[in-house]
Amino acid sequence: MAVALIVAAGRGERLGSDRPKALVTLGGRPMLEWSVEALRSVPAIERIVVALPAGALGDAPEGTVAVAGGAVRSASVREALRACPEGDPVVVHDAARPLAPARLFERALAQLERSGADAAIAAAPVSDTIKEVDPSDGRTVTRTLDRARLWAVQTPQVFRRDALERALIGAGDDVLTAATDDAWLVEQAGGRVEVVESSPANIKITTPTDLTLAELLLAEARV
């Protein structure tokens, strides 16, 4: 059976809130609860572990296992994985993406099963043109990337347990700090990662504007 790890231990400073980002109210309840509800409706998932700030473990939704997160996102994933010694595959999801629908988790799990890959990750084709800028002056364009090949990566990310364990447990703190997603760690370890096409509406809440947009998307989904 599968297990799900929700990382919710970020402080969310850019949101300007007095509480951890995952506990900020969205659509009348803590943001974290939207992801828990979606995951609860996926029959293949038998357990949900939530990584929270050490002072907020009491805020874990009922029926989930709470664990203190780490200093950086991938360290929180590692702590959650350690707290859950069984379960394969492993679904990793950011509490900061509360709009991920249950069917996206199901599609990612099905693609992992079907493909034989080490990971299947939600992603949306990019619609903007992406350019690289010289970091030494912060404004001179050095390269324009081929948009047809670019995908903006989201969560959920679904992993074969042994691939995720190899990538995370063996990684040094510097590597974990550099990782903005766990699939990159699996790629570094030689694993094969596939994208699962997802909607750009599966936004990550970072700023107050994102929160406003999420409220609008939720209201629209309810009509």
User: Which residues here bind ligand C5P, judged by CB under 6 A?
Assistant: 7-10, 21-22, 51, 69-73, 76, 94-96, 204, 206
In the bound complex, what is the minimum distance in angstroms from residue 223's beta carbon to ligand C5P? 27
In the bound complex, what is the minimum distance in angstroms from residue 71's beta carbon to ligand C5P? 6
In the bound complex, what is the minimum distance in angstroms from residue 135's beta carbon to ligand C5P? 20
In the bound complex, what is the minimum distance in angstroms from residue 160's beta carbon to ligand C5P? 22
**Alpha carbon 43 to chain centroid distance?**
20
Between 29 and 192, CB nearer to ligand C5P:
29
Q: Measure the CA–CA gap between 123 and 113, rounded to whole angstroms.
A: 18
Between 113 and 210, CB nearer to ligand C5P:
210
* Nearest residue to ligand C5P, scored by beta-carbon proximity: 10
Between 79 and 117, CB nearer to ligand C5P:
79
Between 92 and 117, CB nearer to ligand C5P:
92
DSSP symbol at 64: S
> 3-state class of 50 per DSSP?
strand
State the virtual CA torsion across 30, 34, 36, 40 in degrees, nearest 10: 140
Number of H helices, E strands in the chain: 7, 11
Tokens at residue 217, please? 């998307």
Q: Is there a contact between 156 and 92 (Cβ–Cβ < 8 Å)?
A: yes
